[in-house]
Amino acid sequence: MEKSIGKYNHCLRPESTELLLKELLQDRLSINLVGPPGTGKGRLIRDILAISTQEAILVALDMQNYKYDLKGFLGALQDKLGTNIKRPRGPAEIFERAKPGYYLLMLDNFDALQDNPQLGPHYTMDFFNDLNVLKNRDNISLLITTCDPHKSVNIYIKGEAYGTSPLTLVIKNLPSLTQPQTETEIQKRLNPGITLSPKEEEQLIKCILKKSQGYTRLEFILRKINSALTTDDRPGKFSKKLKKWNKEFKKQHKPRIKKKLHKLRNSFVGTCISLGLNKLKIPFTSLLEKLFSKKG
């Protein structure tokens, strides 16, 4: 690995990003990065993309955009790699035709492909096996981001539960944000002319470190602060605004009833799989949706 992959001062988590890259590029690991929603997994991938390195060709795709469209995913991957295969069988074939080099393939929001009965019909277990083939090659490391470990959740093929994925990766947990990291991010993201007093900054940092979805919450609140024309320094004013912004954030990001229903159904399916019913169809889902919608 080169002595310096690049400067990390733009990263949300500089030390963690540097260590992760070392494991991916030097140790040649393939990793499942796990962290709760809103903690900055996508930001970490963007930070990696902004690093100048000759160690690897960096390729990143957001799987949220392709959960219904395998063809679209393969097309986007070909665009990234500069290949032109008419009907590629899968990502492994595309990488076979790519120019020589070491690749780091980063798939953000891989949750979109797991625990998803509505997964696009062209996704089969061959796709996950193909990713396994890729990560076992000498010239490719794979990084996927998920909220739950990939191996702990169900994979659905054409609406049927098939158990867990054959894709095996090293699990790494995304570290929690620290006070210095949050403080640095605030200072970098405030618009010119917008300042916070030490007390206000302390209140904001405490809020971000204490509450859930810290990174997404921080982005939301910083947008609110930057949209203000002036900073009101009257005692207690900022704390009232902060309380208001947190309420607005909670309203916009509160879990929807469908997500709760989805979790309930998947819990049931997981139990059935453990009993050997690994191709169970879920006919009762529509009934549960009707029951929950009446309460919502």
Residue 49 is predicted with a pLDDT of: 96
- Supply the pLDDT for residue 292: 43
Strand partners, 171: 32
Token pair for 226: 């930057």
pLDDT tier, 272 (very low <50, low <70, confident <90, very high otherwise) = low
- Distance (Å, whole) CA 276 – CA 171: 26
- Band (236; pLDDT cuts 50, 70, 90): low
What sign has the CA pseudo-torsion 44, 47, 51, 53?
Answer: positive
Say what the pLDDT of residue 161 is. Answer: 85
Mean pLDDT over residues 201-226, rounded?
Answer: 96
**Chain segment 96-142, per-residue pLDDT in tens:** 999 999 999 999 999 999 988 889 999 999 999 999 999 999 999 99
- Quick one: 144 exposed, middle or buried, by C-beta within 10 A (0-12, 13-18, 19+)? buried
User: What is the value of pTM for the model shown?
Assistant: 0.84
Asked if the structure places residue 125 within a domain, the reply is yes
Is the domain of 25 the same as that of 160?
Answer: yes
Residues 198 and 280 in one domain: no
Domain boundary pick from 112, 141, 173: 173
DSSP string covering 91-160, please? Answer: HHHHHHHSPSS-EEEEEE-GGGGSS-TT--TT--HHHHHHHHHHHTSTTEEEEEEESS-GGGS--EETTE
CATH number at residue 49: 3.40.50
Percentage of the residues of the chain whose pLDDT score is greater than 70: 81
Specify whether 218 is located in the same domain as 94.
Answer: no
| Count of domains for the chain | 3
- Would you say how long the chain is, in residues? 296
Is 73 contained in some domain? yes
| Final residue of a structural domain among 136, 153, 173 | 173
Domain boundaries, position 84: 14-173
CB 74 within 8 A of CB 90: yes
pLDDT given at position 295 = 40
6 and 53 in contact (C-beta within 8 Å)? yes
Whether residue 278 has pLDDT greater than 60 = no
